[in-house]
Structure 1
């Protein structure tokens, strides 16, 4: 359940940051989703490699966060740059700030650093979390578009309705908990 809430709360906040810029095209939303999925997959895998190659041999577990933050900052800057070079027509401008503020990436990187899972298991988990984040961004964009057209009280417009939607989605996604373990 914590993973679902981490994904959804992070997607809600990143979505809120992105949706403040009007108008937001579907292409920009999907480019942000792709950039987030790539940075999550690379960040978690790189965080686990930092843990195994630097933190554990030098026994500096207390400095784990200070090693992960520059790595994640480099990814937040580098992934949009690489996407801009591969596809110049894609709107990758100003994507570094939402990627840098992605709490999901930091949380999953810290969680994976503490686990003793294989690199393949960690990478597949990170890839699925990145794809789930992309899906959550698309769902929040749909929620935002529908809430713009609905008659809502002034106190619920913007971030409050997004956070209420986050809670409802977390309840819906918690139904998937344990579905694939049987």
Structure 2
């Protein structure tokens, strides 16, 4: 349940940051989802590499957070920059700030590096969490568009209705918990 809430709250906050600026085009939404997915997968894998190369040999477990933050900040800047160079027509101009505020990056990196999971499992976790983040971002964009046209009370417009939507989605996704374990 905590994993669902982490993904949904992160997507809610990132989509709120993005949707405050202007309405998103479908291409911009997809590019943001791709950049988020790449950042999550590379962040978790790089976090595990930092754990194995620096933290574990020098026994710096207390400084794990301070070693991960510069790595994740570099990814938040570098992934949109590389995507912009690979595809100049993609709108990657101001994606660094929403990716930097992505709590999922830090949460998954800390979770994976702390329990010593294998490298391929970490990459799989990162890729699946990235795909979940893309899905949640699309769902929050749809929620934002629907709430623009509906009669939502003034006190609930913007971030409050987005966070209520995150809670409802977390309850819906928690129904899948344990579905495929038997």
Aligned to 1:16: 16
Aligned to 1:88: 88
Please report how far the alpha carbon of residue 58 of structure 1 lies from its aligned counterpart in structure 2 after TM superposition: 0.3
Aligned to 1:75: 75
Aligned to 2:25: 25
**Post-superposition, which runs of at least 4 consecutive aligned residues in structure 1 deviate over 4 A?**
none
Please report how far the alpha carbon of residue 26 of structure 1 lies from its aligned counterpart in structure 2 after TM superposition: 1.1
Q: Is 1:103 matched up with 2:103? A: yes
In 1: Cα distance, 2:68 partner to 2:57 partner: 16
TM-score, normalised relative to structure 1: 0.99
Query: Alpha-carbon deviations, 1:117-153, whole Å to 9, x = none?
Result: 1100111011000000000000000000000000111
TM-score, normalised relative to structure 2: 0.99
Please report how far the alpha carbon of residue 23 of structure 1 lies from its aligned counterpart in structure 2 after TM superposition: 2.6
Unpaired runs of 5+ in structure 1? none
**Secondary structure, in 3 states, of the residue corresponding to 2:171?**
helix
Please report how far the alpha carbon of residue 35 of structure 1 lies from its aligned counterpart in structure 2 after TM superposition: 0.0
In 2: Cα distance, 1:135 partner to 1:24 partner: 15
Unpaired runs of 5+ in structure 2? none
Query: Alpha-carbon deviations, 1:62-105, whole Å to 9, x = none?
Result: 11111100100110010001100111000000000000000010
RMSD in angstroms over aligned alpha carbons?
0.6
5 Å-filtered alignment, 1:1-182, equals: 1-182=1-182
